[in-house]
Amino acid sequence: MPLEDHNIIDEWTEEDLLELPNTETDEYEFKSSLIREMPNYRNELQSKIVKTASAFWNTGGGILIVGVDDNGKIDGGIPGMMGKQKLRDWVDAALRGVTPPGPYSVRTIRPDSENSAINLEHVVLVVAFGESYDLPHMAPDNRYYVRAGAHSNPANNYLVEAIRARRGLRRPMLRALLRENPQRPGVVELTVLAINDLPALNVEIDFAPVPTLIQEQFPDRLPLKVSVIDRTNPFRMDIATQQRLTYWLGEAPFHVILNYEGIQKAPYSETQELDHHRNLNGGHLWLSDGNSPNKTLKKIHKQLSRLNNLVEKYVSDDSEQK
């Protein structure tokens, strides 16, 4: 589609149903009201909903309409109650069986006139599935479904892996790393980078356990809040000094917890372990004395010159004695 706004059905009426296409498409799935006559009606409807949900979420979104025939014409509708439970609540419970659930909206359309094509105490059920960024979505039967034309079919392993790979292209992705501050030799900085082109919005950064420097300087400001992190705007903060690395960061690895939103306000959360004794990254030479590469090379050159002078003096003295 993709169906970016699944809330478009929230104000639908019977009049909107008259504008449906006259056949199923990759965006619309129809189910006849005759499903209510089946002896296992509850299970059949639940199976239809969750498989369609998996398929639409995995392939950009779409709309399921129960209570219309194959030509998109209202054919009576289905009961507005599922036992003692409202149909809408029952649908919500069914969709929680899809792992993970994606964005959706439910609308039950009741008769709006005496000449309505919807039977009394019946409704046409409309479920809109929005475009998902949390791929892939598995139905309760442990299968992943995709939309292929007018059908929802199980996906093979190749398709599932392709959907999973696409996830990284459709959602912001952040990674944290420790490195030497390029402007302040000997200072360790925490950097949070965007590793694709999608910006992360309303980012919250927390720690477990909390490093000593942050406990001392920001005791009441966790989680740290950053409005946006993208390719050109990484987050950077000094978090320790190299000479007192263990004091500032402790003996054991710690975790950086990132909570953020995408452009469509979809929430994301990641937890990353950082081992400061091993994971010092970046394009800068990490030196045991905390000095910059140039300064350290000068020190090494000076020490080698002194050593060379001592050797020459020793050789000269030895020659004179002989």
Contact call for residues 41 and 35 (beta carbons, < 8 A): yes
Phi-psi category of residue 290: left, alpha or beta, with phi > 0 → left and psi -120 to 50 → alpha:
left
What span, in angstroms and rounded, lies between the C-alpha atoms of 219 and 134? 34
Class of domain 6-169 as given by CATH: alpha beta
Phi, psi for residue 257 in degrees, rounded to 5:
-110, 120
CA torsion angle for 191, 195, 196, 200 (degrees, to 10)?
Answer: -40
Contact call for residues 238 and 188 (beta carbons, < 8 A): yes
pLDDT in tens, the chain (322 residues): 456 678 899 999 999 999 999 999 999 999 999 999 999 999 999 999 999 999 999 999 999 999 999 999 999 999 999 999 999 999 999 999 999 999 999 999 999 898 999 999 999 999 999 988 788 999 999 999 999 888 999 999 989 988 887 776 677 889 999 888 888 888 888 999 998 888 999 999 999 888 887 788 777 888 999 999 999 999 999 888 888 888 888 888 889 999 999 887 888 899 999 888 776 554 443 433 444 445 545 555 565 566 566 556 555 555 555 5
Q: Which residues contact 113 (CB under 8 A, 6 or more apart)?
A: 14
Tens-digit pLDDT profile for residues 16-61? 999 999 999 999 999 999 999 999 999 999 999 999 999 999 999 9
CATH architecture of 172-291: Sandwich (2.60)
Q: Where are the domains of the chain?
A: 6-169, 172-291
DSSP 49-108: HHHHHHHHHHTT-EEEEESB-TTS-B-B-EESEETTEEHHHHHHHHHTTSBS---EEEEE
